[in-house]
C-alpha cells in the first residue's frame, strides 16, 4: 500500500511544482478570479465578468448612456437592457442630476469595457452626506 501511495505522490509532483511556480494555466486562472479592482474601474480595463457595485451619475453621450463613478472623469458605456430603460425614464421625467447606486457586470468588446446594469437605485439625500 505504501508503494502505491508513493507512486501516486510522484505522479502529482510535476503538477505541484508547476502550480507553485505559477506555470499552470488552471492555477493562474483561479488566481485571477474576477474581483473588483482596487484601482479606479472606469480608467483601467476590467476583466469580463467582474461584478461592480458603485455610486455615481448617469450621463447621455449621443444616443448612448454612460455611468460615471463618483470622483471619476471617465465612465462605462452602458449596454441597453430593461434596467437602463427604467433609468432613462427617470432621467427624462426629471432634469435634476441624481446620484445613483448601481450594481452591474463588466463586459469587454474590442478592448473597451461596457457595463451591463443589474440594479440601480437613486441615492437619498441622507445617503449622499
pTM of the model: 0.64
Instruction: Express each pLDDT in 17-47 by its tens digit.
Output: 443 444 444 333 334 444 444 456 666 889 9
The x, y and z cell numbers of residue 83, run together, are: 434596467
Instruction: Express each pLDDT in 99-122 by its tens digit.
Output: 999 999 999 999 999 999 999 999
51-128 CATH fold: OB fold (Dihydrolipoamide Acetyltransferase, E2P) (2.40.50)
Q: For residue 128, what pLDDT is reported?
A: 58
Contact present, 77 and 112 (Cβ < 8 Å): yes
Q: Is 18 exposed, middle or buried (0-12, 13-18, 19+ CB in 10 A)?
A: middle
CA atoms within 13 A on the CB side of 6: 3
Domains in the chain: boundaries: 2-31, 51-128
Amino acid at each position: 500500500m505504501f508503494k502505491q501511495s508513493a507512486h501516486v505522490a510522484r505522479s502529482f509532483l510535476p503538477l505541484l511544482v508547476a502550480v507553485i511556480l505559477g506555470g499552470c494555466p488552471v492555477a493562474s486562472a483561479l488566481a485571477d478570479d474576477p474581483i473588483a479592482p482596487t484601482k479606479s474601474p472606469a480608467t483601467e480595463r476590467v476583466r469580463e465578468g467582474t461584478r461592480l457595485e458603485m455610486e455615481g451619475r448617469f450621463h447621455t453621450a449621443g444616443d448612448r448612456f454612460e455611468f460615471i463613478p463618483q470622483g471619476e472623469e471617465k465612465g462605462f458605456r452602458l449596454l441597453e437592457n430593461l434596467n437602463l430603460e427604467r433609468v432613462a425614464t427617470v432621467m427624462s421625467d426629471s432634469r435634476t442630476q441624481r446620484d445613483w447606486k448601481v450594481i452591474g457586470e463588466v463586459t469587454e468588446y474590442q478592448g473597451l469595457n461596457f457595463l451591463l446594469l443589474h440594479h440601480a437605485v437613486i441615492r437619498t439625500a441622507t445617503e449622499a452626506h
